[in-house]
Structure 1
Amino acid sequence: MDDETFTALVIGGSVGGLAAAHELRSAGADVGVYERSAGPTQARGAGIVMQPEVESLLNRTGTSARDVCVELSERQHLTRRGETARYPAPQLMTTWDTLYRALRDPLEDVCYRQDSTLDGVRVEGDGVTASFSDGHTARSDFLVGADGIGSATRRLLDSTPPVYAGYVAWRGLEAESGLPGHLVELLADRFTFFEAPGMQMLCYLVPGSTGERRDGERRVNWVWYTNVAEHDLPAIMTGRAGKRFAHFVPPDELPQDTIEKVVAQAHTSLPAPFAELVHSSRVFLQPVLDLAPHRMLTDHAVLIGDAAGTVRPHTASGTSKAFGDAAGLAKALRGWRSGLPLPAQALQEWEVVRLDRLVTLAEAGVHLAARSGLGSGRSFFRR
Structure 2
Amino acid sequence: MVVGGSLGGLAAAHELRAAGADVAVHERSAPRTPAHGAGIVVRPDIEALLHRLGVPVEAVAVELYESRRLDVDGRAVREEAPQWMTAWDVLHRVLREPLADVCHRLDGALRRVRVEGHEVTAEFSDGYTAHGNFLVGADGIGSATRRLLDPSFRPAYAGYVGWRGLEPESRLPGDLRELLSGRLTHFTSDGMQMLCSLVPGPGGELEKGARRVNWVWYVNVAERDLPALLPGRSARRSASFLPPGDVPPETAERVVREAEASLPPALAELVRLSDPFAQPVLDVPPWRMVADHAALIGDAAGTVRPHTSVAASKAFGDAAGLATALLGWTPAQPLPAVALEHWEVLRLDRLVTLAGTGRELAAASGLGVGAGRTFFTGD
| TM-score of the pair, normalised by structure 1 | 0.95
* 2:134 matched residue in structure 1: 142
- The structural deviation recorded for 1:241 is 2.2
Query: Identity across aligned pairs (percent)?
Result: 64
CA deviations over 1:273-318 (Å, ceiling 9, x no partner): 0000000000000000000012111000011001111000000011
In the aligned structure 2, how far is the partner of 1:304 from the partner of 1:226? 28
Residues 1:243 and 2:236 aligned together: yes
Residues 1:322 and 2:337 aligned together: no
State the secondary structure of the residue aligned to 1:288.
strand
Deviates more, 1:290-299 or 1:252-261: 252-261
In the aligned structure 2, how far is the partner of 1:350 from the partner of 1:297? 9
* 2:269 matched residue in structure 1: 276
Any residues of structure 2 matched to 1:1-383 within 5 Å, and which? Answer: 9-159=1-151, 160-376=153-369
Q: Given residue 295 of structure 2, which amino acid in structure 1 is its aligned partner? A: V
Task: Give the CA RMSD over aligned residues.
Answer: 1.0
- The structural deviation recorded for 1:377 is 6.8
In the aligned structure 2, how far is the partner of 1:183 from the partner of 1:175? 12
CA deviations over 1:86-140 (Å, ceiling 9, x no partner): 1222110000011011111111111111112111111111121101111111111
Q: Given residue 121 of structure 1, which amino acid in structure 2 is its aligned partner? A: V
Q: Given residue 9 of structure 2, which amino acid in structure 1 is its aligned partner? A: G
State the secondary structure of the residue aligned to 2:22.
strand
Runs of 4+ residues deviating >4 angstroms: none
State the secondary structure of the residue aligned to 2:216.
strand
| TM-score of the pair, normalised by structure 2 | 0.96
- The unaligned stretches of length 5 or more in structure 2 are 372-379
State the secondary structure of the residue aligned to 1:42.
coil
State the secondary structure of the residue aligned to 2:16.
helix
- The structural deviation recorded for 1:339 is 1.5
- The structural deviation recorded for 1:43 is 2.3
* 1:6 matched residue in structure 2: none
CA contact (8 A) 2:37 2:166 kept: no
Deviates more, 1:234-243 or 1:125-134: 234-243
CA contact (8 A) 2:199 2:214 kept: yes
State the secondary structure of the residue aligned to 2:23.
strand
CA contact (8 A) 2:66 2:78 kept: yes
Number of residue pairs the alignment of both structures matches: 370
In the aligned structure 1, how far is the partner of 2:283 from the partner of 2:359? 10
Q: Given residue 264 of structure 2, which amino acid in structure 1 is its aligned partner? A: P
